[in-house]
Amino acid sequence: MLSQISPVVRTPDEFLAALSSETRPNRDLEKLKSAAQFAFYAHQGQMRESGDPYITHPFAVALIVDELKLDTDSICGALLHDTVEDCNVTLEDIKTRFGEPVQDLVDGVTKLSKINFSSKAELQAESLRKMLLAMTKDVRVILIKLCDRLHNLRTLGNCSPAKQKRIAQETLDIFTPLAHRLGMYNLKWSLEDLCLKHAHPDAYYEILKRIAQKRKEREAFVEEIISSIRETLQKASLPCDISGRPKSFFSVYQKCQKDDKYLDEMYDLIGIRIITHNKEHCYAILGLVHSIWTPVQNRFKDYIAVPKPNMYQSLHTTVIHPDGQMFEVQIRTREMHETAEMGVAAHFLYKDNNSSQNRGSEKNPQELNWLKQIARWHSDIRDSHEFIENVKMDLFAHMVYAFTPNGQVIELREGATPVDFAYHVHTQVGNRCVGAKVDDRVVPLTYSIKNGDIIKIITSNASKGPSRDWLEFVKTKRARESILSFLKKSSKEDYITKGQKIVQHILEEKAKRLPSERKASWREILNSKEFSEACAAYGFRDVSFLYEAVGKNEFKLDSIVNQLSFFQVQQEDAEKKLESMRRRPQASKSRDTIVVNGMDDLLVKMSRCCNPVFGDEIVGYISRGRGLVVHRKSCPNAVALSRSEAEREVEVHWNTSSLVSKQSSFQTEVEILTHNQSNVLMKVTQVISNFKINIISMNARSKKDGGFLNLIIEIGNIAQLNNLIRAISDLEEVVSIYRVEPDEKKKPARSTKNQHK
């Protein structure tokens, strides 16, 4: 059993004296002394939130590692695990002083704090990613990290309640499932109880109080049970050690979450553990226990015949006492018990006089196959958050164990289906799957696999492959990714064919409307240099990529067609057209658009110099022809008029109810500065299309240091315009975006990325 508290050790000498006497003969004490002194001086002057010297933390972590009976390098890694993160120490320094194995351990645990991530969440996700990957190379990395987390939880009392809850939840999400996966149940229970204490202190102390109230009664009950078992086994000449095992506080808390009355009754708070010499004795003892008390149906588990993936082996049975109280009995050998207590650490009890080569990887590859899955995800997934979520989803879910017809055990997450099973066996088995049998009876592919099922996958070479519908019910990441990969590969040609037909149809219709002096067939348009350049401007390497995007309905060909039509106008004529559109007042579609205080029968026009949009602050001016021109109040021309001809100013405001009911639109102009990238035009127009906004005209120019877009668009109101500006500004290719102001130096509407993040 792990100690429940960590001693406060402040000096290298105190640390060496605190090492376990049981493991001391196998230690390289000179190396440990050197590492302890190195850490002591590296952390000198640093303090913890508790007020203790910081060095007390690495000393405490190293002593927990010592309790796990790991090798000298592991203890050195624990002593030095924060030096690279918090001190002026490099990994090269550690390699020079203590060797490459220690360097690798420290690197695996280091939190990457010296790299500038955009957020704490990203930093934490990337840190966990690195630690998990390092664990696939040397499992000692996670053992050190678990010890580090245990001591941090033991000393969280001086942190804010919010920080205590955050760290506790992170531990429950990542670290306790890892401890479970590694079979380190003592460590897992210690972590869980401390998490409960910090995340739910009221529940923790209530459970503590209730258990204390029934302590004497419970101890008497346990003594009676042990006495009955010992007497029976002695008569049968079966050697054994028997002990009572109370449930952890966290497991009691979980029971309370499912059963409100559980805390009042607490009928199965204790368990009995029997340790004997061999497997045969285990099964013999099981029969004798069942002869004393009645076993509970469906509560027997044989983890000796079918061990857990973390190598745990034991017999579990729940029986009923004559007074109605249920309790669990666990039966195992001494070797099984060591594995159950220490988990994977029991298989890594290094002797320091052995070669350090391959330490941390001396495991049966079938025993910890899930570590290989972590390594595969690392190479497939770039985003750290997605990586951690995959780890949490697939590796930390409740598991079921099924068999192939030849007896191979397949481990899957709870709720997995025959399709998940098929893809776990092999990708091609999944792709050719047409049905499944469980225990020789046909089941639907949506069937939820249960423990002990014998699964036979029915395959056919004539199968067309997985259905998209399978994505609705598969549970494992492997199955989902394999299905998506197949669908993507097989659908590409279909999309290209579909897109080609759409493009041909649109160009045929467009060609019919061309004037006689510019007559061209759809093939001539498609094969023109102009069309190729337009495709390239939208990021399509060749026309097949355009066909695929159109076929998937991810791109509207109108964006290119309109551009071709625009390019057929001379550049200077286009710019003159733009200028005239800016300056010419836009006649009101309806007198109901603007309400003019005190005047009727005026012809209302929107000024083209500033393009007012519904929601702008506006002002009206009587024109020479007795019409009314509406400007934005911020318009420089309106400001000038207010100074020189204030008598022509008229108070106006938007007719909101009319505008909303008629869904009126207004023209406005924006200019966009971009990085010089080939796909920027496609991305900008796609954003505009997503807002269902019409582009009246577009002018694009390219420079060495970037690109420039001028757009006149139809907008519904100022809120829609602001949302559009924000969305375009969010594109990584966009440097800045401006709403055009007349006769005024332009100012960026959203000039930097950080303004809105």
User: Once rounded to an integer, what is the mean pLDDT over residues 513-518?
Assistant: 70
Confidence of residue 684 (pLDDT cuts 50, 70, 90): confident
CA angle 519, 520, 526 (to 5 degrees): 150
Confidence of residue 263 (pLDDT cuts 50, 70, 90): low
Reported as a single tens digit per residue, the pLDDT across 130-142 is: 556 555 567 788 8
Distance CA 421, CA 719 (A): 51
Which is more confident, 473 or 388? 473
Structural element, H or E, at residue 124: helix 120-137
Distance CA 195, CA 177 (A): 13
Nearest to 337 by CA among 273, 424, 426, 409: 273
In this model, does residue 88 exceed pLDDT 70? yes
DSSP letter assigned to residue 468: G
Distance CA 193, CA 153 (A): 10
In this model, does residue 252 exceed pLDDT 50? yes
Nearest to 18 by CA among 79, 53, 64: 64
Q: In sequence order, which residues have a C-beta less than 8 Å from that of residue 60 and are 6 or more positions away?
A: 6, 7, 8, 9, 151, 154
Structural tokens at position 173: 């999400």
- pLDDT value, residue 213: 74
Provide the 3-class DSSP secondary structure of residue 162. Answer: helix
Give first-to-last CA distance, the chain, whole Å.
49
Provide the 3-class DSSP secondary structure of residue 557. Answer: coil
The full set of domains in the chain, from first to last, is 12-199 (1.10.3210.10), 209-346 (3.30.460.10), 489-568 (no CATH), 582-658 (no CATH), 666-755 (3.30.70.260)
Q: Which residues are known to be catalytic?
A: 85-86
Reported as a single tens digit per residue, the pLDDT across 137-191 is: 677 888 898 999 999 999 998 888 888 998 998 888 778 887 887 778 888 889 9
Query: Helices H, strands E: what count in the chain?
Result: 32, 22
Average pLDDT of the chain?
Answer: 79
- pLDDT value, residue 702: 72
User: Once rounded to an integer, what is the mean pLDDT over residues 415-431?
Assistant: 93
In this model, does residue 314 exceed pLDDT 90? yes
Confidence of residue 564 (pLDDT cuts 50, 70, 90): low
In this model, does residue 113 exceed pLDDT 60? no
Highest mean pLDDT among 357-371, 389-403, 603-617: 603-617
Place of tokens 């995007």: 549
